[in-house]
Amino acid sequence: MIHREKFYRTPIVLILLLAAPFIGLSNELSEMLTELNQIDTISGSATGFAGTPGRFYLLSNQFMEKGQTHDFIDMTKSPHPATRIMGAYCLIKQDKHKHAELVGLMFQDQEHICWNPGGCMVSCEVEVGKIIRNLFEDPNCLGSLPLVNSRE
């Protein structure tokens, strides 16, 4: 009986060890995702009167540094429009052509959010799909975000 218990525990321990890097990464991103889920304006690198970077833009750099492809794909399925846009944006910045099919499907997203790629003018009631299409056609429309090699 003792040998049988050890036999059953071994696969569970192996699964937990193999999954550990993904569990840690999810915890690392969870705080950023919580903040992203509350964003109601997709903002660029020089917004407002002072031309300061918007919160969406700042978070995008952090996601590119810490996220992985599977995280970005999961983000595209979020109920939160800013999170879906961020997932698509990171996939575009990572490899626009490789992810073109998935991102292209998102062009049909009709939920609305505010859009401020730069300057003082904010357009609200812009469809998520139109924003994603803009980002796909010009990945630098939010400003100059350095292309960071994210972990695959």
Compare 150 and 78 and report the one with higher pLDDT.
78
d(CA 141, CA 137): 9
Q: How far is CA 86 from CA 13, 39, 74, in A?
A: 34, 11, 11
Global confidence as pTM: 0.77
CA atoms within 13 A on the CB side of 87: 24
Residues facing 96 on adjacent strands: none
Q: Give pLDDT tens digits for 24-68.
A: 445 778 899 999 999 999 999 988 888 899 999 999 999 999 999
Q: Supply the mean pLDDT for the chain.
A: 82
Please state the length of the chain: 152
Which ranges constitute the DSSP H helices of 37-80? Answer: 55-66, 69-75
Model pLDDT, residue 24: 40
- Cα distance between the two ends of the chain: 42
